[in-house]
Amino acid sequence: MIELNHITKVFNRGKVNEVAALNDVSLRIAPGEFVVLVGANGSGKTTLLNIISGAALPSKGTVRLHGEEVTRLPEYKRSRWVARVFQDPLGGTAPELSILDNFRLAALRTQRKKLKIGIDEAFKVAVRERIARLGLGLEDKLQQPMGTLSGGQRQALTLLMSVMDHTDILLLDEPTAALDPKSAEVVMETAESLIRQYNLTTVLITHNMRETQRFGSRLIQMAQGRVARDLDRDAKEKLRLEEMYEWFG
């Protein structure tokens, strides 16, 4: 459960470039709900995601995750509940570390990183099996540095990494924006299957209207730092592509 109560976020307060990115936004996202967030550039979508993940702290208002007040809790502590896939495929992984090292960190997201060698044969087998399910042929390249993979491969692996440890909330910040159509398809199919399998509460930011139609159980449109439209599954399914385009003028 994600609860945002009267969230306001102002950047550069008191300066000439002061911007109110979010303006008194209140939202309740139920457990297992899959929310698709759309809006023009600068409408506050990513700021909203940052407020949920803890990457940004609100100027006003409160944030609760699973009933717990987390408004001032830093991002690394919120990772107990929240996994995130960044728009930039480089952002969600450590490029110089091997695929295996990246997965080891992901497997310990909610745990202490101890002074013991945790990558054993059993762990390698488990990672290999999971990666094999993607069908990208990466299961035999576990020692390869993450930075040598394509953007699509990295995003698919980042998604897989997000469920290596206990996860309640998955934040997808335009995960396919930097990908070619085929890679984007693989990434979104992987995301959908994992969300269903682990019953994740999900927020997806996208500019792709077809993704908006195809995925999610709720659609929220942001405009000028506010929630402009909030449509449930029925209303979302009735929505035509042309109508959505009209939202952006």
| Minimal distance, residue 222 CB to another protein, in Å | 22
Q: Is 178 in the site for another protein (CB under 8 A)?
A: no
- Residue type for position 107: A
**Minimal distance, residue 28 CB to another protein, in Å:** 24
Using the minimum distance from each CB to another protein, give the nearer residue, 94 or 241: 94
CB of 33 to another protein, least distance (A): 21
Token output for 204: 């997806």
Q: Cβ neighbours of residue 29 under 8 Å, at least 6 residues apart? A: 1, 2, 3, 35, 201, 203, 218
Does 52 engage in binding with another protein (CB under 8 A)? no
Decide: is 84 part of the binding site for another protein (CB under 8 A).
Answer: yes
**Site map 58..77 versus another protein, x via CB under 8 A:** ----------------xxxx
Q: How many residues form the binding site for another protein (CB under 8 A)?
A: 39
118's tokens: 């945790």
**Of residues 91-130, those binding another protein (CB under 8 A):** 91-98, 101-102, 104-106, 108-111, 113-119
From edge to edge, which strands make up the β-sheet containing 68-69? 19-29, 2-11, 60-65, 68-69
Least Å from the CB of residue 113 to another protein: 4
Residue 16 engages another protein in binding (rule: CB under 8 A): no
Residue with smaller CB distance to another protein, 30 or 125:
125
Task: Select the span of 78-86, 134-142, 206-214, 230-238 touching another protein (CB under 8 A).
Answer: 78-86
Per-residue contact string for residues 125-144; x = within reach of another protein by CB under 8 A: ------------------x-
Residue type for 157, please?
Answer: L
* Closer CB to another protein, 109 or 236, in the complex: 109
- Using CB under 8 A, list all residues that contact another protein: 53, 55, 74-77, 79-80, 82-84, 86, 90-98, 101-102, 104-106, 108-111, 113-119, 143, 145
